[in-house]
Structure 1
Amino acid sequence: MPRDPLAILARLRRIDTDAARLRLAGAQAHLAAQQDAVAAIERELRAEHPEDAPRTYGDFLARMLAARHQQAAALARAGAALDAERDALVAARTQEKVLDALRDRRAAAERRDGLRREQARLEDAIPRG
């Protein structure tokens, strides 16, 4: 029995969609980790008081502001990656829907062909006068 190309393609589309879901989950986890890191830097910045260590506060502040800037950039990259993975999942789902529509069309065409064959068989069975 020959392999059905649409069935093979459907399996590939499912694999693609599952992989896109996994990548999206990973991107969401990465974004959450970046958000936690930003929050930790903000907490550390707010917890330090200049009067506690006047000589080292400038170094601390410069270091923490640089860390905040780097973390904000990492957060922006994580957000962009999440958006890209969402788009990839939408595309994979769209491809699955197109494939489903093709399979439905093929099934409808097969039903029509079957009905035509049955009609022709019935017409051939009618005695002609």
Structure 2
Amino acid sequence: MPLPPTRPTSSPPACWPSSPRPGPAGPASPRARPGGGGPRRRRPLLEGAGATLQAHLDRSNFAVEMHQAFLDVATGGTGCLLVEEAPPGGPSALRFTAVPLSDLVLEEGADGRLDTVFRRGR
């Protein structure tokens, strides 16, 4: 079954940094901003949350596992990155795992878009 056409977007998804260059919080880091003309008083709170998230990403295994997921994208067209809460006391609150495509079953919804991912049990 052919894939449905994609709709063009005016900006990249919010989950991706504006630059492919990883690193500490800086111009390439994702930014959280109040939407819809929200109050500017929320800006410091959102900037603090963004800095905390960036610090956890910097101290986690994100770069290594994302590289593995991108290898699946290059070979299979799809990559999967599992995000879990890390055990307490670790350097980061996040733990990432690249899940091989051979361990996944992807399912389309009624509209023809991917909406469910099943992972093979161990």
> TM-score normalised by the shorter chain: which range applies?
under 0.3
Q: Could you say which structure has the greater relative contact order, defined with CA pairs below 8 angstroms and 6 or more residues apart?
A: 1
State which structure, 1 or 2, has the greater radius of gyration over its C-alpha atoms.
Answer: 1
Q: Which has the higher helix share?
A: 1
Structure that is richer in strand per residue:
2
Q: TM-score, normalised by structure 2?
A: 0.24
TM-score by length of 1: 0.22
